[in-house]
Amino acid sequence: MDSDSSSFIDLRSDTKTRPTPAMLQAMISAELGDDMNGEDPTVNRLEAMVCEMLGKEAAVFACSGTQSNQMGLRAHCLPGDELLIHELGHIAIFEGGAPAILSGVSCRTLTGERGMLTVEGLRGKIRANDQHLTRTRLLCVENTTNAGGGHYYPLDQLTDICNWAHENGLKTHMDGARIFNACVAGGYTMKEICAPLDTISI
């Protein structure tokens, strides 16, 4: 690698990735339509493809992972609610306080090895039904764990914590910014890892 920045690939972040000529040509020649009215064929195909891939009934295209995470939180929570999340979770520490700013939701952060939660670590963390307390409404996980060292949830561990959440009246949301990497490393499919989740951001 020499000092010429055009002669090497920068893998620090997906924000460093530059489109290839073929990618640029695809953007220029893409069919267009009003996606607000469901008339953009490219967006429609993308959303349908994601539904099939994840085994979910609906998908919506968003501009960023942070936006799609916050859409998921807003779908499940009301102002004054709280969510449970690992203390290193992207939603809790890297999204500029968006749960509080956009949805009036507080993050109750929990510990766990390698950025991952367990049923044992979740037990006893749902607040009592009391007018003085926030309502615990949502469980959030991240796969792979960014600040947790890039580890992936084993399928049985994720299924167990999602089952625990649902049994206790909570919804589940995954920040799946690197979910394709997790599938490769964990040897599971997108449908398998998304089955116990109510919403997924990719």
CATH number, domain containing residue 142: 3.40.640.10
pLDDT tens-digit map of 3-48: 555 667 776 776 777 888 999 999 999 899 988 898 999 999 999 9
How far, in Å, CA of 187 to CA of 162, rounded?
19
Asked whether residue 68 falls in the same domain as residue 55, the answer is no
Instruction: Kindly report the pTM of this predicted structure.
Output: 0.90
Average pLDDT, the chain: 93
* 8 A C-beta contact, residue 164 and residue 122: yes
Of 38, 61, 84, the last residue of a domain is: 61
List phi, psi (to 5°) of 91: -60, -35
Banded pLDDT at 74 (limits 50, 70, 90): very high
pLDDT tens-digit map of 132-141: 999 999 999 9
Asked whether residue 83 falls in the same domain as residue 31, the answer is no
Assess whether pLDDT exceeds 60 at residue 97.
yes
Say which DSSP state 127 is in.
P
Asked whether residue 160 falls in the same domain as residue 109, the answer is yes
- Domain containing 19 equals 1-61
Assess whether pLDDT exceeds 90 at residue 90.
yes
Asked whether residue 100 falls in the same domain as residue 147, the answer is yes
* 8 A C-beta contact, residue 198 and residue 169: no
Number of folded domains in the chain? Answer: 2
Asked whether residue 77 falls in the same domain as residue 175, the answer is yes
Of 22, 46, 61, the last residue of a domain is: 61
C-alpha R_g of the chain: 19
Asked whether residue 90 falls in the same domain as residue 131, the answer is yes
How far, in Å, CA of 6 to CA of 1, rounded?
10
- Please list, in sequence order, all residues whose beta carbon lies within 8 angstroms of the beta carbon of residue 95, skipping any fewer than 6 positions away: 66, 69, 70
Of 61, 90, 110, the last residue of a domain is: 61
Instruction: Give the strand order in the sheet containing 135-142.
Output: 106-110, 81-86, 135-142, 171-175, 199-201
* 8 A C-beta contact, residue 155 and residue 186: yes
Dihedral in degrees, nearest 10, Cα atoms 165, 48, 191, 180:
-100
Of the chain, the end-to-end C-alpha distance in Å amounts to 32
How far, in Å, CA of 93 to CA of 153, rounded?
20
